[in-house]
A = this chain, B = another copy of it.
Amino acid sequence: MFHVIIPATEPELHYMSLLSISFYFFINNAMIILQKYMSKPILSSRTNSLVASPIRKFLPLVRQAEKRGIKVLKINIGDPDILPPPKFFQTLKKIKSGQVPYAPSSGLVEHVSAWQKYYAAYGLNFKPENLLPTIGAGEAILWSLLLVANPNDEIIVFEPLYTNYRGFAKMAQVKLVPITLQLADNFALPKKTEILKKISPKTKAIIIINPDNPTGKVWSDKELKMIVEIARQKNLFIIADETYREIVFTGRAKSILQQAAARPRTILIDSLSKRFSLPGARLGIIASYNLEMMSAALKLAMIRLSAPTIEQIACTPLIKDFRAYTKKIKTTYQKRSQIVNQALKKIPNVVSNTPAGAFYQVAKLPVKDTEDFIRFMLTKFSHKKQTILISPLKDFYITPGLGKNEVRIAYVLSADKLRTAMHIFKLGLEAYLKK
């Protein structure tokens, strides 16, 4: 309701006002009708708040550089240049023409049985019902979050953290509570009391990635024991992402499940992508001694029916006979790690640690904003018609403001190319600082 008082002495004004009031109502109604019939509905806030992958957002600049004839050495994502075991293509080519049915939701029997054999090599005796092939580790991550937490529940993570956990947490509406690890400490765990401080009645689980992406940290037995002890004390699940298990440069590959105390509460995430250099095959697995968990996971598997049938067939012989291949790539990545590490140590004011596994390394640069440096490398710098692409680390942190001067380097190129890339890195950084 609103009132317009018009002095009777001003009939013209009266007339004009009535007109403008009518006009106001006309426009108002038209707007409501327009809104109803022309506007689009609004997307959910949960997906609208997602950020584009920090690893992938520079692709348009990469394409522009390539159009200018610049070769971009991509050491930003975990997409290795190493060939998968030849047996993969041999088996693929042997698959007879015929139906390509859904695989059972619980996985092809032969494929699951190959994983049983794989885990037995680590002293982990699983029955088929302890194992469930997934569509990449990604699906296993999403399911783990859904399995342990309701919306608004909390999960403890260590940052910097493989950034896609943040996206999956948004999908599952779970809050990740970060504990920050320090490059200067070689990403060692803080004291138990510091971790306990972050645990609330809403905390349902602790996530560990071992060997770690992006830090290359390999967790010590002491650290793993502390995590298991905390999980038992606070009755939490442990989500253990061991995608890079075999890529460790000293000591033996292992699993947190080798600690019996971890078994009732741990959900293990594994993948074929890194272990057999098959990221495009989209196969992973979740494993747990907790059968209640596996039974709920099977229901999730039934909803999406099946993991890719052909890849399950083609990867089965690889899993059964993994050691020769993983031994070889471990040596390859170790050599690459040394190249990157030595090169980084020679660049003034760059701080880094010595990774112990996986194929990533974090470095702190003498710049304010590594995204700006990465843009500079793609748009303004080249050396002998080449430049590099690395990942900014900011979005690997949950705590705002952290990691702005850090980057992740992925050892996904051959030794020679890596040497060139690190040389370009050094020259590019010098040029950037002189700007």
**Residues in A lying within 8 Å of B, measured CB to CB:** 35-41, 43-48, 50-53, 56, 77, 79-84, 86, 88-89, 92-93, 95, 97-103, 105, 135-136, 138-139, 142, 146-151, 153, 164, 167-168, 171, 173, 204-205, 232-233, 235-237, 264-265, 277-282, 290, 292-293, 296-300, 302-311
Query: Which B residues lie within 8 Å of A38 (CB)?
Result: 264
A299–B52 CB distance below 8 A: yes
Closest residue of B by beta carbon distance from A203: B41
Query: Which B residues lie within 8 Å of A138 (CB)?
Result: 303-305
Query: Which B residues lie within 8 Å of A92 (CB)?
Result: 92, 95, 310
A281–B100 CB distance below 8 A: yes
Q: How far is the CA of A327 from the CA of B235 in the complex (A)?
A: 58
Query: Which B residues lie within 8 Å of A136 (CB)?
Result: 304-306
Assess A44 versus B204: contact at CB under 8 Å? Given A93-B93, A235-B39.
Answer: yes
Chain B nearest CB from A415 CB (Å) reads 17
Query: Which B residues lie within 8 Å of A173 (CB)?
Result: 151, 173
A105–B56 CB distance below 8 A: yes
Chain B nearest CB from A359 CB (Å) reads 15
Q: What's the number of copies of this chain in the assembled complex? A: 2
Assess A300 versus B171: contact at CB under 8 Å? Given A102-B280, A280-B101.
Answer: yes
B300–A43 CB distance below 8 A: no
Chain B nearest CB from A225 CB (Å) reads 14
Q: How far is the CA of A52 from the CA of B299 in the complex (A)?
A: 5
Query: Which B residues lie within 8 Å of A100 (CB)?
Result: 84, 88, 277-281
Assess A282 versus B307: contact at CB under 8 Å? Given A147-B47, A265-B41.
Answer: yes
Q: How far is the CA of A302 from the CA of B280 in the complex (A)?
A: 14
Chain B nearest CB from A90 CB (Å) reads 8
Query: Which B residues lie within 8 Å of A290 (CB)?
Result: 40
Assess A83 versus B56: contact at CB under 8 Å? Given A281-B309, A296-B43.
Answer: no
21 contacts between A and B (CB under 8 A): A39-B235, A40-B264, A40-B290, A41-B236, A41-B265, A43-B147, A44-B153, A46-B151, A47-B300, A50-B300, A52-B298, A53-B299, A84-B99, A100-B281, A102-B279, A135-B304, A151-B173, A167-B299, A167-B300, A282-B282, A282-B307
Query: Which B residues lie within 8 Å of A300 (CB)?
Result: 47, 50, 167, 171
Chain B nearest CB from A57 CB (Å) reads 9
Closest residue of B by beta carbon distance from A50: B299
